[in-house]
């Protein structure tokens, strides 16, 4: 009985790991495809729902999912907001909301892996934006 449980748990862990690897490869391939458009990211946020890459030289950012990658100019970024739910004194469901000045894609919600990741990346993005635009978003 105990051996069966160990096999079952091991199979579950292996399946989750394989799914993560497939998602990671697809997102990275979609980001790499943007190199043809002179996109060379210096910073990459590896979120739970998307990868967000920032090319500070060309002033562009990209959102990569398993299916595709979308490329935007820094000038299209209007606001970034961190949202979460308080549960038992902890911040849960940490999302960064990117509001864009783009009719076809006005909002991208990026799920972060932790409150620490969300807080750190919100600060990094605001620093990049300030360097580019002289304003805090």
Q: Are 106 and 99 in contact (CB under 8 A)?
A: yes
pLDDT of residue 104: 93
pLDDT of residue 22: 73
pLDDT (tens digit per residue) in 44-91: 999 999 999 999 999 999 999 999 999 999 999 999 999 999 998 899
pLDDT of residue 135: 58
pLDDT (tens digit per residue) in 86-136: 998 899 999 999 999 999 999 999 999 999 999 999 999 999 888 777 655
- Domains with residue ranges and CATH for the chain: 2-133 (2.30.29.30)
Higher-scoring residue by pLDDT: 137, 113? 113
Task: Report the predicted TM-score, pTM, of the whole model to 2 decimal places.
Answer: 0.79
CA distance 123 to 74: 16
CA distance 106 to 117: 23
CA distance 73 to 76: 5
Q: Is the pLDDT of residue 14 over 80?
A: no
pLDDT of residue 132: 74
């Amino acid at each position: 009985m105990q051996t069966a449980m160990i096999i079952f748990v091991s199979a579950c862990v292996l399946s989750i790991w394989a799914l993560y690897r497939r998602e990671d490869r697809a997102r990275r391939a979609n980001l790499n495809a943007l190199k043809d458009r002179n996109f060379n990211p210096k910073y990459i946020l590896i979120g739970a729902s998307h990868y967000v890459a920032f090319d500070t030289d060309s002033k562009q950012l990209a959102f990569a999912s398993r299916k595709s990658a979308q490329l935007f100019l820094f000038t299209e970024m209007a606001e970034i907001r961190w949202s979460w739910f308080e549960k038992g004194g902890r911040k849960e469901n940490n999302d960064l909301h990117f509001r864009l000045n783009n009719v076809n894609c006005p909002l991208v919600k990026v799920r972060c892996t932790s409150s620490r990741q969300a807080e750190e990346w919100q600060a990094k993005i605001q620093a990049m934006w300030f360097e580019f635009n002289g304003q805090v978003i």
